[in-house]
Structure 1
Amino acid sequence: MKEQLEESSENDYKIVLGFVKGFLETKKFIISSIIIFLIIGILVVFLTPKKYSSRVLFITQDASSSQSGGLGGIASLISGGGMKATGNGDIPTFLYPQIIESWEFRKQLFDIPLKLKSEDSLITFEEYAINREKLSTGQVIAKYTIGLPGLIFGKKESKTIAPIKRIDSLEYITSNDNKVLQSLRDKISFSINKEDGTLEIKTVLKEEPVAAAQLAQQVQLRLQQEIIRYRIAKAKEKFEFIENQYQETKQEYKDAQIILASYTDRNRFNATESSLIRKRQLENEATLLYTLYSDLEQQRINQSLKIKEDTPNFTVINPATVPLGAENSNALTTIIIYAFIGFIVAILRYVYIVTRDYVKSLWVEV
């Protein structure tokens, strides 16, 4: 029994060695396959556009907490302690990515000015994404292989598409808008460090280091403006309401003063009871309007301070800078991977040959 096992093991060993020997005998194809895929890998490395990235790192600070001893104290004194530093309608940081992904915010990025290497003047990101952006090697191959029918018949088909009936209350995204949005998704990433609360914006552009920095800076500034707009929206709306009431009451008070002064001048020497009663009515109306006017003025000041309290402060830790070099593209790794693919192709070819010969031998025996 032991001898049979040893003989079986020796036969298996010989079979494996036979396969290895047979495979090594195809060394010409192995070397050719590796060289061909090496060349393909080198071409991919050189033809793939270099990517330049720029990062902005910043934090947001609650302005109301930092100003509680300043503006908050002043407001408290003005209102007699009636105004306290309560919640300011803050939005959680985990919602910031939702703001960046929203259509309302994205369309604000369409007009970001960029300086390209090939352009003497600035162009908008929309113009860059639609007409100037370079396609990657894979996109070019896909465009002229899978997408070739669309290039040939695209114009003819577009003529038959019926125009969409627009409704004023709805937002419509055109094909060009969608192209710009997709380009923005590919180039802008946003992350939040939960440990220290820092916010990072990263932009990546092909062959355009200056434009990458410009895009990162503008996204940072516009995101901060959007956060401020969200934070002070409620306080600002209330301030605008108070401001309108204040201006109306102020004008009414001025009109009441004019009416009272005119009536007093006309009835200076009139001592009748009716004239005195009318004068007191006008004085009471002017006094009431002055009280309302003063109260609204105080509320107006308080709400103005509230807006300043709710406005967040941003500290930029790492501003957008023009990258000195392209991102690490792992060129050597790419070349090695392609060479390995060439070796795998050689193995698969040999497996195919062995399988084919084995099937042929069985077929002959049958």
Structure 2
Amino acid sequence: MNEIDKQQTKLKKIEEQEIDLLELAHKVWNGKKLIFKACGVAVVLGLIVAFSIPKEYTTTVVLAPEAKAKGGAGNLGALASMAGINIGAVSGDEALSPEIYPDIVKSTPFLVDLFPVKIKPISDEKAMGLFEYMDKHQRTPWWGIITSAPFKAVGWAVSLFKDKPQGATADKPDVFRLTQEQAEIAKGISDRIVTSVDKKNGMISISVTMQDPLVSATLTDTVMQNLQDYITRYRTNKAKQDLEYTEKLYKEAQQNYYEAQQKYANFADSNLDIVMTGYQTRLERLQNEATLAYGLYNQISQQLQLAKAKVQEVTPVYTVVQPASVPLRPTSPQKPIILIGFVFLAFVGSVGWILFIKDLVKQFKRS
């Protein structure tokens, strides 16, 4: 009997659940007009929002860095061995890790260097600096203007009683002391640049999103060139310093050799008929000095060639896999997704009102 009672109880629960679901479905069906109205309003609001958001275009470039050979200095090592020089101890300079490339692009000096970059919007015949474009030619949604108006008014009022820092301009900003406007522009540029590095193959991707397709492509190409220049300066800085020092030694050794050679020649020419021992000793000493000066001059000459080769060896080479190209279609806003999102929220909200909130409101009013 107990088992039969349990089965009957389960059947009753299942029937009650089915009845509850049918009641819920019936409630939703009776409130279908409200659902349709809510979805209709959502469509209108979604279209207003979607068409109020400015279009933005994204340009992406992909770089492939030159692969470094492991366990040696390559052609530089062969040249050094021919010159009889061991560079094993000096060829272990560390390269700049690609993992910090995004941090370099986001750094304040790198961003400030982009301020004077000349760009030309596709809808404007006049070229302008990036700072001016970001400051005066950015479109914002209507609700953004409304929400930011009080803050702008307060900022304008405060600026009337503050002294502006002297000596810093948009073209030549003081990185150590940026103005509030310059800091905001730098952050705005930073938010629009995305740099990523594929750890598997070392590919470097740089993407820039702007409201103008031509500005997006121009700035992407500029960021790529500036990043390459930064890495090149970092990689070649030590080698160039060594080259400058070697060139200085080379000039000194060359001058010493020429002077020693000239002294030997002058002394020999002025004493052709003298066979005294003192003369021969002095002549041999001058000859030895000239020989030593030549040996030093020859050795430093080889080191100079090696230093020049070192600069070439450490200079990074990048292959542009995907160059910058003016985008034809905007990447945002995605109007269909915005529209679907508004309709979905309206549907869920109206169904929730019909099933739960409406009854709760009635009970609250009765109490």
Displacement after TM superposition at 1:251 (Å): 4.1
Distance 1:114 1:64 in 2: 39
Residue of structure 2 in register with 1:52 after alignment: 57
Query: Which sections of structure 2, spanning at least 5 residues, go unmatched?
Result: 168-173
Displacement after TM superposition at 1:38 (Å): 0.5
Contact 1:63 1:312 in 2 (8 A): no
Distance 1:106 1:50 in 2: 23
Q: Per-residue CA shift, 1:90-140, capped at 9, x if unaligned?
A: 2222222222222232223333332212222432322222222222x2xx4
**Using a 3 Å threshold, how does the CA distance of structure 1 residues 310 and 26 change in structure 2: closer, same or farther?**
same
**Using a 3 Å threshold, how does the CA distance of structure 1 residues 99 and 160 change in structure 2: closer, same or farther?**
same
The alignment status of 1:303 with 2:316, answered yes or no, reads no
Contact 1:51 1:205 in 2 (8 A): yes
**Using a 3 Å threshold, how does the CA distance of structure 1 residues 62 and 239 change in structure 2: closer, same or farther?**
farther
Q: After alignment, is 230-239 or 22-31 more displaced?
A: 22-31
Displacement after TM superposition at 1:24 (Å): 4.1
Distance 2:207 2:264 in 1: 66
1:213 to 205, 212, 217: 217
Displacement after TM superposition at 1:40 (Å): 1.1
Distance 2:115 2:274 in 1: 72
Distance 2:15 2:236 in 1: 82
Residue of structure 1 in register with 2:207 after alignment: 202
Q: TM-score under structure 1 normalisation?
A: 0.79
Residue of structure 2 in register with 1:185 after alignment: 190
Residue of structure 1 in register with 2:245 after alignment: 241
Contact 2:58 2:330 in 1 (8 A): yes
2:344 to 330, 340, 344: 340
Secondary structure of the corresponding residue to residue 54 of structure 1: strand
Contact 2:54 2:333 in 1 (8 A): no
Contact 1:192 1:200 in 2 (8 A): yes
Count the aligned residue pairs.
Answer: 354
Q: What does residue range 157-172 of structure 1 map to in structure 2 within 5 Å?
A: 157-161=158-162, 171-172=176-177
Residue of structure 2 in register with 1:98 after alignment: 103
Q: Per-residue CA shift, 1:127-179, capped at 9, x if unaligned?
A: 222222222x2xx423422x32222232221133366799xx98222223322
Distance 1:134 1:57 in 2: 29
Q: What does residue range 65-104 of structure 1 map to in structure 2 within 5 Å?
A: 70-77=75-82, 79-84=83-88, 86-104=91-109
Distance 2:149 2:58 in 1: 32
Contact 1:75 1:83 in 2 (8 A): yes
Secondary structure of the corresponding residue to residue 109 of structure 1: coil
**Using a 3 Å threshold, how does the CA distance of structure 1 residues 81 and 64 change in structure 2: closer, same or farther?**
farther
The residue type equivalent to 1:38 in the other structure is V
Q: After alignment, is 318-327 or 344-353 more displaced?
A: 344-353
Distance 1:336 1:49 in 2: 19
**How well do the aligned residues superpose, as a CA RMSD in angstroms?**
3.8
Distance 2:330 2:263 in 1: 76
**Using a 3 Å threshold, how does the CA distance of structure 1 residues 119 and 298 change in structure 2: closer, same or farther?**
same
Displacement after TM superposition at 1:200 (Å): 1.3
**Using a 3 Å threshold, how does the CA distance of structure 1 residues 282 and 110 change in structure 2: closer, same or farther?**
farther
**Using a 3 Å threshold, how does the CA distance of structure 1 residues 336 and 62 change in structure 2: closer, same or farther?**
closer
Distance 1:290 1:73 in 2: 24
The alignment status of 1:38 with 2:43, answered yes or no, reads yes
